[in-house]
Amino acid sequence: MPSRFLREDLASFSPYSVTYLPGIIKLDANENPFELPDEVKEEIKTEFMKLPLRIYPDPTALKLRVAIASFLNIENIDERHIAVGNGSDEILQYIFTAFLNRDNLVMYPNLSFEMFSVFSQVAGVRDVELELNESLELDLPSVVEALYTYRPKLLLLCRPNNPTGWSMPREDVLTILEQSKRVNTLVVIDEAYGEFMEESLAYLVKDYDNLIVLKTFSKAFSLAGLRLGYAISNEAIVKDLMSVKLPYNVNAFSQMVGRIILEYKDLILSKVRFIINERERVYSRLLSLDNVRVFPSNANFLFFYCEEKNLIDKLLSYGIKIRGFEPKHPLLENAYRVTIGKKEENDKFLSAMEEILS
């Protein structure tokens, strides 16, 4: 029961929640199955001993932003185009804080990153959900029509989309950016899983002053436990975001680890190709199962439908946890998402599915 001080419009608010079950094969949260290499951890340990923990961290995270800009290697994009936060979630919250008033409208797909809806409710803004088609994709004409009908202040998109794994074609994104400029809509593209499709649209911030691209260290870089993300945009938008952030939002340890991770980027990202190959293998196996409808994915997970009763509990009896969804709307009826793990973890999941469905 909420306290008597909670805002009335949040009385029925359902926060994002996660259940933690130790000692199981964890394929429910889109985490990278590979830990950081030992040599990277040793480097972090060495540098940690040099950290002056008695003083506050650099509030601008300048060295980290310089390292990120160098990693992106986009012409005319430097640290002035980068803002960092405790995960890209925090930056998304700052976007709501900096750019939205209570009477503004936010638009996002009706099956996408759950925090879009959470932030909309917390901010008290109005929202419009874009309908996905039967292939769980957005139809470009319907998006453009909605832009002109509702003229939202903010449009939120994931590429690849979470939880479906679908990626909007680059040409469609360009059309949306052009049309969004005409109705003065700010577009945020969340590329949390972009490394698993081996493509980024971050370079487009040079051409579109209404674009913010969000990236994270949580997925491909195996740093979900650290909470570190960043935004790429034009200088004016980055200044706006940094003006509303908390003074020391990214701690000294996270800033240091982020810089080291980027020094070892080739070593760490070498696992991405393995995950992509495993994703395609798991997809093919699920495709062959009766009573399973699985969708192609450009991320490190697969979205599928299955009418088997109590599938989550049955998989847990095999020591495997995947993500099940409450059927808040028809697209989530009998819907599941499985993260791509190590080969042996994927094999156990597939064997369990085959036995359960036999």
Q: What is the DSSP string of 188-223?
A: EEE-TTGGGTT---GGGGGT-TTEEEEEESSSTTS-
Own/partner long-range contacts of 119-126 (Cβ < 8 Å, ≥24 apart): 119/92, 119/93, 120/96, 121/9, 121/10, 121/13, 122/10, 122/13, 122/96, 123/96, 123/97, 124/7, 124/9, 125/96, 125/100, 125/101
- Amino acid 18: pLDDT: 60
In the sheet with 301-306, reading across from the earlier edge strand, the strands are 25-27, 320-324, 335-339, 301-306, 292-294
- Model confidence over 82-140: pLDDT tens digits? 999 999 999 999 999 999 999 999 999 999 999 999 999 999 999 999 999 999 999 99
- Amino acid 16: pLDDT: 60
Closest to 208 measured CA to CA, from 231, 186, 241, 239: 186
- Amino acid 125: pLDDT: 94
- Amino acid 184: pLDDT: 97
Specify the pairing of strand 186-190 against strand 154-158.
parallel
- Amino acid 291: pLDDT: 92
- Amino acid 328: pLDDT: 81
Closest to 340 measured CA to CA, from 302, 311, 284, 314: 302
CB atoms within 10 A of CB 292: 18
* Chain center to CA of 214: 8
User: Is the backbone peptide bond immediately before 163 cis, with ω within 30 degrees of 0?
Assistant: yes
Token pair listed for 140: 């470009």
Q: What is the dihedral sign for C-alpha 281, 287, 292, 294?
A: positive
The one-letter amino acid at 220: A
**Chosen CATH of 8-36+270-357 out of 2.40.50.140, 3.50.30.30, 3.90.1150.10, 3.40.50.300:** 3.90.1150.10
Q: What is the dihedral sign for C-alpha 287, 166, 335, 219?
A: positive
The single-letter DSSP state of residue 330 is: G
Closest to 36 measured CA to CA, from 262, 196, 192, 200: 262
Closest to 232 measured CA to CA, from 58, 108, 65, 109: 65
C-alpha span between 180 and 177 (Å, rounded): 5
CB contact at 8 A, 147 and 138? no
Helix (H) or strand (E) holding 238: helix 235-244
**Chosen CATH of 38-265 out of 3.40.640.10, 3.40.1180.10, 3.30.565.10, 3.40.50.1170:** 3.40.640.10
- Model confidence over 238-280: pLDDT tens digits? 999 999 999 999 999 999 999 999 999 999 999 999 999 999 9
Q: Mind listing the pLDDT tens digit of every residue in the chain (358 residues)? A: 778 777 887 877 666 656 666 679 999 999 999 999 999 999 999 999 999 999 999 999 999 999 999 999 999 999 999 999 999 999 999 999 999 999 999 999 999 999 999 999 999 999 999 999 999 999 999 999 999 999 999 999 999 999 999 999 999 999 999 999 999 999 999 999 999 999 999 999 999 999 999 999 999 999 999 999 999 999 999 999 999 999 999 999 999 999 999 999 999 999 999 999 999 999 999 999 999 999 999 999 999 999 999 999 999 999 999 999 988 888 999 999 999 999 999 999 999 999 999 8
End-to-end CA, the chain: 43
The one-letter amino acid at 117: S
- Statement: the pTM of the whole predicted model exceeds 0.75: yes
Q: Where are the domains of the chain?
A: 8-36+270-357, 38-265
